[in-house]
Amino acid sequence: MSAIAAYRALLRIVGPAYILVAFLGRIPLAMSQLGVLVLVSSSTGRYGVGGAAAGILAISNAVGSPLFGSLSDRIGQRPVVLVQSLAGAAGLAGIVAVTHPDASQAVIFALASLTGFVMPQVGPLARVRWRPITRDTGDQRRLVDAAFSYEGAADEASFVLGPATIGVLAIVAEPAGALLAAAVLLAVFGSWFAVHPTSALVGRRADSGAARGSEPLWTGVFLVHVLAQVCIGMIFGSVQTGTTVLATAEGQAGLAGLIHAVLGIGSVIAGLAVTGLPERVLYATRMAVAALGLLVLSAPLLLVDSLPSLIGVIALLGFAVAPYMISNFALAGILVPVHRVSAAMTMLAGATGIGYAVGAALAGRLADANGHTAAFGVTVAAAGLAVVIALTSNRALRQAVPVDQGY
């Protein structure tokens, strides 16, 4: 089955409405961090407060997502994601309500923490649904490959479209209007994703899996995937920081977000193309090759000294990002117990968020003393660590026995 035929088959199975809902449902999370940063910074006049609020939201989401993922494994996605979507939307609206020039920082931080904690990770949860969705098809492996490739591309597209939407709405409707728009999107499409008929498939899957025992989630193999996502998160955070430092130094600070978005464009293209790889190319092999690609394509960042050269390097680097993440998520999805898949997917997403925070913080500190090149040094180091992890674990990943998924 060709890649195009696989995508057509997936669209035929679930219908275009589900694809649209699952994509738009993940946009609010991508909007929330920058939306809070812009709103709080502009209202209080202090970028430090805005950055802290955005960081608290991101870290709280990284902590809360695996907990709600585990709960989804036990009782199904429908009730969990529905409550998360409505609570997250209320939280975003609440941040708008309490943010003003004389607002208490403690109140803003507390609400940002609660909001981040409850917001759903629609992308990872959507990945969980594809195996039961395709269980009655004749070529499930190929379709799941295509589904995970699409999900990787969709995540990257959301990380491009979400901040861009905030930027446009902040101009048209003020920062408060932009964050309220994210709240509405989450309430509508997050809830729709929660109650979509495909959520019932995951509910039945969780029930049947729970009856088979209590296989551990935290194995050596799963730890490899968590560390791999920390690495990719560090790459995201350090690239964004280094880009911001260089753009600011050249008097074009406003372009930092758009330049960083170029990383997502290449990643989307590569993500959609991954499904064209033959099945004999194992996920462990794909992961190792993609990690090497991250290292090779990130190394020129140490030489960039202008925005045009930076754009060129970032555009190429994006082509290694999605293949790495797709291979990691897909491999984790077949190696963890069926009744722990939601927890696993959301935990990997949380690890990415933690890596982002670490990468951004470390790159920012180094950039204060040595400029953008030092920040990009964190990017290259993270890519090198990804190579070490992929190569040292390759044999174990290739020999790991897939867990019976029950369909």
- Asked if the structure places residue 324 within a domain, the reply is yes
- Asked if the structure places residue 133 within a domain, the reply is yes
- Asked if the structure places residue 182 within a domain, the reply is yes
| Same domain for 374 and 255 | yes
Where a domain ends, among 153, 186, 211? 211
pLDDT at 3 over 80: no
| Integer Cα distance of 184 and 116 in angstroms | 16
Q: Identify the three-state secondary structure at position 371.
A: coil
What pLDDT score was predicted for residue 407?
A: 41
What pLDDT score was predicted for residue 110?
A: 96
| Same domain for 236 and 297 | yes
Query: Who's near 271: CB < 8 A, 6+ residues apart?
Result: 149, 150, 152, 153, 156, 322, 323, 326
Q: Work out the average pLDDT over 365-392.
A: 93
- CATH number for the domain spanning 370: value is 1.20.1250.20
pLDDT at 333 over 50: yes
Domain of 99 in residue numbering reads as 1-211
- Asked if the structure places residue 407 within a domain, the reply is no
Where a domain ends, among 158, 178, 211? 211
| Same domain for 147 and 35 | yes
pLDDT per residue over 381-402, tens digit each?
999 999 999 999 998 888 765 6
| Same domain for 220 and 152 | no
Question: Residues 151, 345: contact at Cβ < 8 Å?
Answer: no
| Same domain for 93 and 231 | no
What pLDDT score was predicted for residue 207?
A: 47
pTM of the model: 0.80
| Same domain for 217 and 206 | no
Query: Who's near 106: CB < 8 A, 6+ residues apart?
Result: none
| Integer Cα distance of 118 and 270 in angstroms | 31
| Same domain for 141 and 1 | yes
Question: Residues 342, 202: contact at Cβ < 8 Å?
Answer: yes
| Same domain for 223 and 205 | no
What pLDDT score was predicted for residue 215?
A: 63
Where a domain ends, among 196, 211, 226? 211
- Asked if the structure places residue 235 within a domain, the reply is yes
Mean pLDDT of the chain: 86
| Same domain for 375 and 298 | yes
What pLDDT score was predicted for residue 403?
A: 60
The domain total for the chain is 2
Q: Which of 8-12, 55-59, 82-86, 321-325 has the highest mean pLDDT?
A: 82-86
pLDDT per residue over 178-221, tens digit each?
899 999 999 999 999 999 999 888 764 444 444 444 566 677 78
| Same domain for 197 and 120 | yes
| Same domain for 148 and 135 | yes
- Asked if the structure places residue 67 within a domain, the reply is yes
What pLDDT score was predicted for residue 257?
A: 67
pLDDT at 1 over 70: no
| Same domain for 239 and 140 | no
pLDDT per residue over 114-168, tens digit each?
999 999 999 889 988 988 888 877 777 788 888 888 888 888 788 778 877 877 7
